[in-house]
């Protein structure tokens, strides 16, 4: 393809899906017990069994991003799509990397994460595959960023509170009432939603949010995501398929780096409705 696509491991794209669309994924990293690991080197089970050793996460270095960009540089340039800059230093690292590489390199903040980031990346990759110029590919990413939604439930907000991504008062309220927290991630920030009384209710409210946002005649692009909880995530996709045939769908597993901040047990839906005419 003339425009190459590079993203980070926070996008939670299955490896076969990324390979199929010629998407280069730069791994984030974590340090556990004084040893650094690239995202994916440790299994989720191993990470969870060793959390008491102390763990920190970090963005890829500018050098790592620059290497990925150089190796994938297309004839019409590269678009590097990153996790929200409010959550990670990846966006900054990619900007630094862009100055180290000869060629047309643009860096795009998706302002989201996980499956929602993955949907933005996939939309850009499809336009690139069809011969779109760099401006067109970037415009598509911006179009999807403005429309994509991500709603998720977690067993506890404690991990998000500790990482500073959710206010402490929200975490304390959820614990004291024994509720299932729900949050929506948009424009770079998680926003707590009204908690559910049970896990099944939380999952039902996610699919309800998707269907309530439906646009007549629009095509659905959807991702179900999870942090060590594939069964409920798969059921979410089944519920969606029972009502609509998605144009794009995937099941995304949170990488260990992401799970450090959310904790295990997260289940969510990311989606956007595509009103663009078919070419």
Q: Where are the domains of the chain?
A: 4-145, 149-274
Which CATH number applies to 149-274? 3.30.1180.10
Which CATH number applies to 4-145? 3.40.50.10170
Give all strands (DSSP E) within the chain, no chain letters. Answer: 4-8, 23-26, 29-32, 35-38, 55-58, 78-82, 105-109, 149-153, 180-186, 189-196, 219-226, 248-253, 267-274
> Taking the chain (279 residues) in consecutive chunks of 10 residues, what is each chunk's mean pLDDT?
91 95 95 88 84 85 96 91 94 95 95 96 97 97 97 74 49 55 85 87 95 95 94 96 96 87 88 87
Angle of CA points 167, 168, 172, to nearest 5°: 130
Examine domains 4-145 and 149-274 and report if their fold is the same: no
Name the pairing type of β-strands 267-274 and 55-58: unpaired
Instruction: Tell me the β-bridge partners of 58.
Output: 29
pLDDT for residue 130 = 94
pLDDT for residue 2 = 87
For the question of whether the overall pTM of this predicted structure is more than 0.85, the answer is yes
């Amino acid at each position: 393809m003339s425009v190459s696509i590079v993203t980070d491991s926070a996008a939670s794209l299955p490896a076969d899906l990324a390979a199929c669309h010629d998407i280069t994924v730069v791994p984030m990293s974590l340090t556990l017990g004084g040893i650094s690991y690239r995202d994916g080197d440790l299994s989720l089970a191993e990470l969870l069994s060793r959390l008491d050793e102390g763990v920190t996460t970090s963005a890829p270095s500018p050098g790592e991003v620059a290497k990925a960009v150089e190796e994938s540089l297309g004839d019409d340039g590269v678009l590097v799509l990153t996790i929200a800059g409010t959550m990670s230093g990846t966006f900054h690292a990619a900007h630094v990397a862009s100055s180290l590489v000869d060629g047309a390199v643009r860096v795009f903040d998706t302002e989201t994460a996980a499956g929602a980031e993955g949907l933005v990346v996939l939309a850009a990759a499809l336009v690139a595959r069809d011969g779109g110029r760099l401006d067109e590919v970037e415009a598509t990413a911006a179009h999807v960023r403005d429309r994509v939604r991500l709603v998720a439930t977690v067993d506890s907000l404690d991990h998000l509170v500790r990482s500073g991504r959710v206010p402490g008062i929200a975490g304390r309220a959820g614990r004291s009432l024994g509720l299932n927290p729900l949050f929506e991630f948009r424009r770079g920030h998680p926003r707590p939603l009204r908690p559910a009384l049970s896990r099944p209710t939380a999952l039902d409210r996610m699919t309800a949010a998707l269907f309530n946002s439906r646009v007549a005649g629009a095509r659905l692009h959807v991702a179900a995501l999870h942090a060590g909880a594939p069964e409920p995530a798969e059921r979410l996709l089944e519920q969606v398929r029972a009502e609509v045939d998605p144009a794009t769908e995937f099941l995304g597993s949170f990488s260990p780096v992401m799970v450090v901040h959310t904790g295990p047990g997260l289940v969510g839906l990311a989606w956007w409705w595509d009103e663009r005419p078919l070419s």
